[in-house]
Amino acid sequence: MGKTLLISLDANDVEPLAAFAQRHGTAFDLLSLASRAPIDVGADTAYSANLKEVPPADSLVASLRSFAADYDLIAVSASMFGKDFAPRLAGALNRPMVGDILEIKSADTFVRPMYAGNVLATVRVTQPKFVASVRATAFGSPSRAGASAEQSISIAGEGKAERTSVSEKEAARPDLTMANTVVSGGRPLKDAETFEKLIGGLADALGGAAGATRAAVDSNIAPNELQVGQTGKIVAPDLYIAAGISGSTQHMAGMKDSKVIVAINTDGDAPIFEIADYGLVMDLYEAIPELLSKVKRA
């Protein structure tokens, strides 16, 4: 069996990618684009590109194409970055792609979600060389550590797309998809200031990340990178607190794999209560301040 190449955007996706490769059972190299690779996840060679800014997908694929072509399997995290970049790499290499892998059945057979997570499909790839994207929350940490040879790699692709602006990354809270605790809010939060004070405040108190529904994002209550759901981010934290969220199919597809779900809503018939471990029928404007005064601060 040929070798696997893991392409990591930043430090967040190295561990789940290494866990995927270890379970897949193939020897692997790791290419880290934007950060120095942790070299203890058992890769044979850890390549670091040390990019200050990752170029748009067309130039990144143009510069990586021949390097990546030597590997039978190329795996990327199914983040927004991975979803943009990996299929383009697959197309450039004329390879099929298995997206959003949740589970490995065998070297060529995987489980992936369809129909907003309402169906789990087992799919088999009939080509020896392919590209995969991996849902980070389904793989966790690698079971084996191991040192790697370190090598730097230069990436200088020419592309036709030029990035003209980028929103600032807020580093104050843990990454939404990696956080152990997520506190999410919906439209009842009314405005951005209230959202930040209550949802952001409880998230900070618990050392977690803040999330939001699409309705909250569409009403400019929360920035769009906080959207949890089928078309936003998929999260599976140890604790998910949904405040003022009724529980649309769209939203629940993004958080139903959380270990413990708490729902706080004034409407006792809201669908979110059907998947919550603990349901509290209460106004979030009373419940969250009380929680803030009673939780142990992280």
Residue numbers 269-288 binding other proteins by CB under 8 A: 273-282, 287
Q: Which of residues 76-95 bind other proteins (CB under 8 A)?
A: 79-81, 83-92, 94-95
CA-only gyration radius of the chain, Å: 20
Contact between 291 and other proteins per CB under 8 A? yes
Instruction: Select the residue interacting with other proteins from 68, 262, 270, 284 (CB under 8 A).
Output: 262
Are the CB atoms for 211 and 235 separated by under 8 Å? yes
Residue 109 φ/ψ, nearest 5 degrees:
-130, 130
Contact between 218 and other proteins per CB under 8 A? yes
For residue 151, the tally of other CB atoms under 10 A from its CB is 12
CB of 153 or CB of 292, closer to other proteins = 292
Are the CB atoms for 59 and 159 separated by under 8 Å? yes
* Sequence-distant (≥ 6) Cβ neighbours of residue 273 within 8 angstroms: 247, 263, 265, 279
Torsion (CA) 183, 235, 172, 56 in degrees, nearest 10 = -150
Q: 30 has which bridge partners?
A: 6, 46
Q: Which of residues 28-57 bind other proteins (CB under 8 A)?
A: 56-57
Q: Which of residues 229-258 bind other proteins (CB under 8 A)?
A: 230-231, 238-239, 249, 256
Instruction: Select the residue interacting with other proteins from 52, 172, 269, 294 (CB under 8 A).
Output: 294
3-class DSSP state of 270:
coil
- As measured in angstroms, the least distance from the Cβ of 22 to other proteins is 23
Instruction: Select the residue interacting with other proteins from 122, 141, 151, 152 (CB under 8 A).
Output: 122
CB of 37 or CB of 60, closer to other proteins = 60
CB of 39 or CB of 217, closer to other proteins = 217
